[in-house]
């Protein structure tokens, strides 16, 4: 086939730069449409987030694991903006589980460096102070490195008087351990004579959890395609809506996030009734 004939028969493909422009326009149009729909309905008051896929993202993009975790940190900073834009008032993110501490020592050390930097960044983030975001870490601080605990203390101290928004970071956290600690506190109160066993109910248990002063999550979003809770807020998510995204965490887009919120709005919540 001659070059002239081939040019006549092959479909015309737009140049790469034009394809990129068209893709960006389509994405922006989709985001605007989803935002308009979401603003007409109820937005999750409390969003739980299981950020899964940093290591697989790094592997699939030819990066080292440390770079994958850094990309994940950057994505979380983006998502905080998205939450502020749509009006999510409480965000609780699963940053480090107790099981994650069993990873190779070098990776755990790199994560500790990342967390120390992240909490120090939070303490001086203009968004945090502009929107009066109360920052808290939930989990077993006793197993964290000293500089991470110092950075957490700095972030919490600098935001302790804020209450417009709440940003909770679950670090060295395990849902079962949290429940066990709540049971111990209740047992101590019974032993001290300040609480009768027959007065222990779900409200009393909730009051002794890390999230004692917060409502339970309305929606839990997990990335990476895995469909499990992985020991995250086991007590609190009893009636939460769950949304699982196939996208690896650092690759999550604003459109993916908005689709999760829209899916939440289209569900009917019965709370076991």
Measure the CA–CA gap between 220 and 226, rounded to whole angstroms. Answer: 13
CB atoms within 10 A of CB 24: 10
Q: Which of 176, 181, 180, 221 is nearest to 75 (CA)?
A: 221
Beta carbons of 148 and 109 less than 8 angstroms apart: no
Measure the CA–CA gap between 210 and 207, rounded to whole angstroms. Answer: 8
CA distances from 249 to 18, 89, 217, 265, 266 (A): 28, 21, 20, 22, 24
Measure the CA–CA gap between 98 and 174, rounded to whole angstroms. Answer: 6
User: Would you name the residues annotated as active-site residues?
Assistant: 52, 100
């Amino acid at each position: 086939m001659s070059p002239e004939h081939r040019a006549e028969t092959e479909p015309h493909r737009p140049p790469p730069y034009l394809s990129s422009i068209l893709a960006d326009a389509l994405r922006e149009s989709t985001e605007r449409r989803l935002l308009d729909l979401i603003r007409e309905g109820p937005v999750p008051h409390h969003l739980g987030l299981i950020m899964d896929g940093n290591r697989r993202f790094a592997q699939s993009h030819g990066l080292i694991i440390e770079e994958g975790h850094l990309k994940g940190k950057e994505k979380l900073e983006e998502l905080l903006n998205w939450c502020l834009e749509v009006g999510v008032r409480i965000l609780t993110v699963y940053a480090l589980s107790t099981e994650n501490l069993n990873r190779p020592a070098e990776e755990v050390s790199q994560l500790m460096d990342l967390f120390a930097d992240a909490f120090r960044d939070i303490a001086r983030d203009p968004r945090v102070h502009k929107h009066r975001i109360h920052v808290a870490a939930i989990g077993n601080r006793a197993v964290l490195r000293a500089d991470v605990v110092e950075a957490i203390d700095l972030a919490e101290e600098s935001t302790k008087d804020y209450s417009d928004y709440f940003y909770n970071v679950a670090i060295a956290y395990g849902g079962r351990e949290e429940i066990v600690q709540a049971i111990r506190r209740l047992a101590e109160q019974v032993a001290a004579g300040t609480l009768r066993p027959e007065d222990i109910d779900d409200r009393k248990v909730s009051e002794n959890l890390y999230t004692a002063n917060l409502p339970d999550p309305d929606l839990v979003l997990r990335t990476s395609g895995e469909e499990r809770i992985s020991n995250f807020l086991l007590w609190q998510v009893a009636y939460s809506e769950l949304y699982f995204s196939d996208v690896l965490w650092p690759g999550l887009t604003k459109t993916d996030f908005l689709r999760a919120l829209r899916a939440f709005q289209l569900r009917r919540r019965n709370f076991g009734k």
